[in-house]
């Protein structure tokens, strides 16, 4: 199967390498074109523009940072829209809001193409291991056709119905995750400042009902102040912002998420946006110092 892949960031690189390893023919494009070179070593071809990739491939997958990037790649000059046509499918796996997804879907369909949104749950390591959870919505026939690729990228794919449902599900998941990360950070800081060993706190947490993969994975690195990015903090804050907007639309009070968003914003203002989202820990430690 031949696919195009737009966006070779942390996630897109790992995902396209997986597809290549499992025998897919992959044509890649990235805004910073030099990032394509590593993929060529794994057997990929390069498309000079998003339009060139779509022209060559029946299916094109995108994994881009945010709503503005997702729209730019579709609507700008040399973008996806210039070459999408009947018989071609566009699958956007970026985390965006439902409105962005709908806007892209309508434009693709107006040109005769098929569209699927398919944001993912899981981070760098699950992307490398093909263990993502895929939250797809849109054209059901395209979903069925692209399943062989989803089976390589993920451990489970959900088909959630109409466009927008995948985006919303992803935002709800990441809103919960961002709030949890803040509570976890506060707990680690509180343990340390009150004279406890935070390493022991990790052991205690791991044995109880609130044990989870995120605490297990991030706890040890946070205690070492290691924030090498798996999920960049700027993207987590984008997801909190979009989830809060979804809350506004639906009149859902979200005081916990709103507070977590403030902490992520503070972290961005301190220049921590490109570090892992667990670097919000530094913000909370700093807040603690200031009191
Ligand atoms: N990392 C995770 O753990 C994780 C997990 C689940 C979902 N996600 C979501 O997956 C998406 C990608 O995340 P990531 O971690 O791979 O991000 P990343 O490493 O920051 O990569 C972002 C990608 O978007 C491209 N891009 C940014 N602005 C652009 C623009 N205006 N036009 C064209 N391309 C543009 C970047 O190109 P350049 O190389 O030229 O900058 C890069 O290829 C995001 O929506 C994120 O929320 C991430």
Which stretches of 9-153 are assigned E, i.e. beta strand? 25-29, 45-46, 59-62, 89-92, 114-117, 120-121, 132-138
Q: Distance, CA 197 to ligand 1 centroid (Å)? A: 36
| CA–CA dist 72, 49 (Å, integer) | 12
From the list 233, 238, 234, the residue with the least C-alpha distance to 97 is 238
Is residue 120 in contact with ligand 1, taking CB distance under 6 Å? yes
Q: Which atom of ligand 1 is nearest to the CA of 229?
A: 1
Is residue 235 in contact with ligand 1, taking CB distance under 6 Å? yes
Q: Which CATH superfamily is domain 2-162 in?
A: NAD(P)-binding Rossmann-like Domain (3.40.50.720)
Q: Distance, CA 86 to ligand 1 centroid (Å)? A: 28
pLDDT above 70 (res 289): no
| CA–CA dist 216, 210 (Å, integer) | 11
pTM (global) more than 0.85? yes
Q: Where are the domains of the chain?
A: 2-162, 168-290
| CA–CA dist 255, 261 (Å, integer) | 10
Q: What is the DSSP string of 217-252?
A: HHHHHHHTT----SSBHHHHHHHHHHHHHHHHHTT-
| CA–CA dist 247, 104 (Å, integer) | 22
Q: pLDDT grade, residue 291 (50/70/90)?
A: very low
Q: What is the per-residue pLDDT across 111-142, written as a single tens digit (0 to 9) for each?
A: 999 999 999 999 999 999 999 999 999 999 99
Q: What is the mean pLDDT of the chain?
A: 97
Q: What is the per-residue pLDDT across 26-83, written as a single tens digit (0 to 9) for each?
A: 999 999 999 999 999 999 999 999 999 999 999 999 999 999 999 999 999 999 999 9
Mutational pocket test of ligand 1: of 235, 264, 276, 277, the residue with most ligand atoms within 8 Å of the beta carbon: 235
User: Please, which residues bridge with residue 45 across strands?
Assistant: 27
Is residue 241 in contact with ligand 1, taking CB distance under 6 Å? no
From the list 285, 253, 256, the residue with the least C-alpha distance to 272 is 285
Q: Which residues contact 163 (CB under 8 A, 6 or more apart)?
A: 98, 101, 102, 105, 115, 117, 137, 138
Beta 154-159 vs 132-138: how paired, if at all?
A: parallel
Q: pLDDT grade, residue 284 (50/70/90)?
A: confident
Looking at ligand 1, which residue's alpha carbon is closest to its atom 39? 32
- A 10 A CB-CB count for 7 gives 26
Asked whether the beta carbons of 94 and 66 are under 8 A apart, the reply is yes
From the options 1.20.1510.10, 1.10.1040.10, 3.30.67.10, 3.20.20.70, give the CATH code of 168-290.
Answer: 1.10.1040.10
Same topology between domain 2-162 and domain 168-290: no
Asked whether the beta carbons of 181 and 222 are under 8 A apart, the reply is no
Q: Distance, CA 198 to ligand 1 centroid (Å)? A: 33
Is residue 58 in contact with ligand 1, taking CB distance under 6 Å? no
DSSP-derived secondary structure letter, 78: T
Residue 170 known to be catalytic: yes
């Amino acid at each position: 199967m031949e696919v195009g892949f737009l966006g070779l960031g942390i996630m897109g690189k790992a995902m396209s390498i997986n597809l290549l390893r499992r025998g897919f023919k992959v044509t890649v494009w990235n805004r910073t074109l030099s990032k394509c070179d590593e993929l060529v070593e794994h057997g990929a071809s390069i498309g000079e523009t998003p339009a060139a990739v779509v022209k060559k491939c029946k299916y094109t997958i995108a994994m881009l940072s945010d709503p503005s990037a997702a729209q730019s790649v579709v609507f700008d000059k040399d973008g996806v829209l210039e070459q999408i046509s009947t018989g071609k499918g566009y699958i956007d796996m970026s985390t965006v809001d439902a409105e962005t997804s709908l806007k892209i879907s309508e434009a693709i369909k107006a040109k005769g193409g098929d569209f699927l949104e398919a944001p993912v749950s899981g981070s760098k390591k699950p992307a490398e291991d093909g263990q993502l959870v895929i939250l797809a919505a849109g054209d059901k026939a395209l979903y069925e056709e692209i399943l062989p690729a989803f089976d390589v990228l993920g451990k489970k794919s959900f088909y959630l119905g109409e466009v927008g449902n995948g985006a919303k599900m992803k935002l709800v998941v990441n809103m919960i995750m961002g709030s949890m990360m803040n509570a976890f950070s506060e707990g680690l800081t509180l343990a340390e400042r009150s004279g406890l060993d935070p390493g022991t706190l990790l052991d205690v947490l791991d044995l109880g009902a609130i044990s989870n993969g995120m605490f297990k994975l991030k706890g040890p690195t946070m205690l070492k102040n290691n924030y090498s990015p798996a999920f960049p903090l700027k993207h987590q804050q984008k997801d909190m912002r979009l989830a809060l907007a979804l809350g506004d639309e639906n009149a859902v009070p979200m005081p916990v998420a709103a507070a977590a968003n403030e902490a992520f914003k503070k972290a961005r203002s301190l220049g921590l946006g490109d570090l892992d989202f667990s670097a919000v820990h530094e913000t909370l430690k700093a807040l603690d110092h200031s009191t």
